[in-house]
Amino acid sequence: MTNTVGQSTTARANANIAFIKYWGNIDDALRLPANPSISMNLDGLFTQTTVTWREDLAADQLTLNGQSAEAQALRRVSTHLDALRQRLAISGYAAVESANNFPTGAGIASSAAAFAALTIAAAAAAGLTLSERELTTLARLGSGSASRSVPSGFVEWYSGATHEQSFAESIASPDHWDIVDVVAIVSHAHKTTGSSEGHQSANSSDYQTARVAGASDRLVVCKRALLERDFATFAEIVEHDSNMMHAVMMTSRPPLFYWQPATLGVMEHVRQWRADGLRVCYTLDAGPNVHCICVRGDMEQVREGLKQLSDVQDVLVANPGGPAQII
Amino acid sequence: MTNTVGQSTTARANANIAFIKYWGNIDDALRLPANPSISMNLDGLFTQTTVTWREDLAADQLTLNGQSAEAQALRRVSTHLDALRQRLAISGYAAVESANNFPTGAGIASSAAAFAALTIAAAAAAGLTLSERELTTLARLGSGSASRSVPSGFVEWYSGATHEQSFAESIASPDHWDIVDVVAIVSHAHKTTGSSEGHQSANSSDYQTARVAGASDRLVVCKRALLERDFATFAEIVEHDSNMMHAVMMTSRPPLFYWQPATLGVMEHVRQWRADGLRVCYTLDAGPNVHCICVRGDMEQVREGLKQLSDVQDVLVANPGGPAQII
């Protein structure tokens, strides 16, 4: 027994935005991704989670943003806790309190931050000290992209044929490159099709094979541009990779349309602004909100431009963020 | 010499809307398509063209909608007339007067109707009587989809390895199925990237190979649904094929975005209306306007629904149309 029963541990993990996207698994149960991906942690857009392992509970408990969670959310958390109990030999049930400081389910990867924070808090509350690499693989079991919210700054998540091989690690610290994510919120609504379900539909698109086949090449281009701070190359490959993923979504059976009319409008403006000389590009996760990645010197113009669009309800700004950590 | 010098001949050809799309060629010069396609002629959305072969001209002349045509349009028509002169042994230059009764360059296949009418008028003005099949191949040289505007009603255009093999023919007459095309005009603007240029970019998308590989299967499904008047199956494959083509466009390098925000809004409504029981589906050509294909009994509801959308500027309705003909 490794438990430190009754001890509460709180962890905080940032959301992340992928520059080369994860979509579809080679193993849905283990969430082994069909392709490697690259992301940036989003400083200040975080989930904070407190875990207490208790021998006196008959089941896991989950509080989300101060309210008792719905059955579906509890089931997913409990399934992840089952995996942790099994792999880490933890006994008992957990009381989990979790809160996001950003809108849930709208293209900001809330499940990434949530499962990164949950994994780290759960392991620490059990008195375990695990390597960052192991924590990334465990977080991945809850939500694939959660693996990328564990290390610091700019992160690569490797595809791999086994649980141990599919881990994430930092490829550059937050201060490596002064770019920011200006998020255009066009909808606060929760998406109709969640990412887990979406990943399972990826292979129903005739385009997924080609998307996966080209992903490693796109990742090499993106990683080099990122390491060399070459924004023009970076912008082109990031938008292309986002388009590639959404094209797979729209050609799945049934199709998944995460873009809303306002989404497409923001994308058009971003392309036009870049053509006009601003260093900005867009990328979208499985949701309608548009992540406008820009060089800090052009941030104010991008933010002002977005605020003037009638369909943009809100604008968030996030710097490159640090690692998930116990607080 | 086959010419009947000085004799004017007028032909009229309807535009058509593809249910299984043409995008990309295996031979750009001959416009041999990468995949076969199926379309419906649009009754009343036509180009009317008068051709006069004259020995006294030093160059071809082109009047478009009553005005002397711009150099680019004249060049394309003259290139097509060169092909006809060579293949049909016609001498002299042509005076061409052409007019559309629908907006040019906005997702209604104006070049299809234009080159079908031009080809038929030019051959007849030269005193030639050609088979429909030969006329479809000649029209194809001017604009691929023009081959489909020559025969009547519902038309299949075969891919094929040679000029002679890539022809179009009717698979059902206009009265076979009482469906209509309700076109939601969201923009009258001329598209930035014309179809000819677009076709040449198709292979720059990693998805074109898969799109082409699946096209014949989709065509079989669509053709059977059309012949059996099975709207549910028809709707699903038509929207899917349209999504497949636009996904290729958006993932080309550089990307081609024909959808506007309003386009996506109409698509969403059409899917919702069908989920609510209306027999309607969407398809889009290389432009922003949305062709809403519906069973006649549901036409009024679709038309009224579209008119209530603030982004829809105009609504056109077209029945299945007849063949191109001399008038």
Q: Tens digit of pLDDT for each residue in B120-134?
A: 999 999 999 999 999
Determine the distance in angstroms separating the CA of A251 from the nearest CA of chain B, rounded to an integer: 6
Q: A41: which strand partners?
A: A16
Contact indicator for A150, A324 with CB cutoff of 8 Å:
yes
Cβ of B265 under 8 Å from any chain A Cβ?
A: yes
> Which residue, among A243, A249, A311, would best test binding to B if mutated, counting the most B CBs under 10 Å from its CB?
A243
For position A188, what pLDDT does the model report?
Answer: 76
C-alpha distance from residue B201 to each of B79, B193, B205, B248, B257 (Å): 21, 10, 8, 9, 13
Query: Which positions in chain B touch A209 (Cβ < 8 Å)?
Result: 210
This model of the complex carries an ipTM of 0.93
Chain Cα centroid distance, residue A225: 21
Q: Shortest CB distance from B251 goes to which of A243, A267, A268?
A: A243
A122 HSE (CA, 13 A, CB side):
33
pLDDT tens-place string over residues A10-61: 999 999 999 999 999 999 999 999 999 999 999 999 999 999 999 999 999 9
pLDDT tens-place string over residues A95-153: 999 999 876 655 566 899 999 999 999 999 999 999 999 999 999 999 999 999 999 99
- Band of residue B188 on the pLDDT scale cut at 50, 70, 90: confident
- E-strand ranges in chain B read 8-20, 25-27, 32-33, 37-54, 61-64, 67-68, 93-100, 154-157, 168-172, 179-185, 280-283, 290-295, 314-318, 325-326
Determine the distance in angstroms separating the CA of B25 from the nearest CA of chain A, rounded to an integer: 19
Q: In the CATH scheme, what is the code of domain A8-175?
A: 3.30.230.10
For position A187, what pLDDT does the model report?
Answer: 84
Interchain CB distance below 8 Å, B243 and A260:
no
Listed in sequence order, the residues at least 6 apart from B192 whose beta carbon sits closer than 8 Å to its beta carbon are none
Cβ of A203 under 8 Å from any chain B Cβ?
A: no
Cβ-Cβ contacts under 8 Å between A and B: the total is 74
Distance (Å, rounded) from C-alpha B320 to C-alpha B16?
Answer: 9
For position A1, what pLDDT does the model report?
Answer: 44
Determine the distance in angstroms separating the CA of A107 from the nearest CA of chain B, rounded to an integer: 18
For position A239, what pLDDT does the model report?
Answer: 98
Average pLDDT over residues B144-155: 98
Residue A267 has pLDDT above 70, yes or no: yes
Interchain CB distance below 8 Å, B261 and A265:
yes
Query: Which positions in chain B touch A257 (Cβ < 8 Å)?
Result: 264, 267-268
pLDDT tens-place string over residues B261-271: 999 999 999 99
Average pLDDT over residues A280-308: 97
Interchain CB distance below 8 Å, B251 and A250:
no
Cβ of A211 under 8 Å from any chain B Cβ?
A: yes
Q: Shortest CB distance from A251 goes to which of B243, B265, B268?
A: B243
Task: Identify the CATH assignment for A179-318 out of 3.20.20.70, 3.20.20.10, 3.90.1330.10, 3.30.70.890.
Answer: 3.30.70.890
For position A102, what pLDDT does the model report?
Answer: 78
Residue B34 has pLDDT above 50, yes or no: yes
Average pLDDT over residues B195-208: 91
Using CA atoms of B266, B267, B273, B278 in order, give the dihedral in degrees to the nearest 10. Answer: 110
Cβ of B239 under 8 Å from any chain A Cβ?
A: yes
What DSSP assignment string belongs to A193-238? S-HHHHHHHGGGSTTHHHHHHHHHHHHHHHHHHHHHT-HHHHHHHH
Contact indicator for B285, B245 with CB cutoff of 8 Å:
no
Q: Shortest CB distance from A250 goes to which of B210, B247, B265?
A: B247
Residue A214 has pLDDT above 90, yes or no: yes
Q: Where exactly are the structural domains of chain A?
A: 8-175, 179-318
pLDDT tens-place string over residues B209-242: 999 999 999 999 999 999 999 999 999 999 999 9
Q: Do domains B8-175 and B179-318 have the same CATH topology?
A: no
Q: What percent of chain A has pLDDT over 70?
A: 95
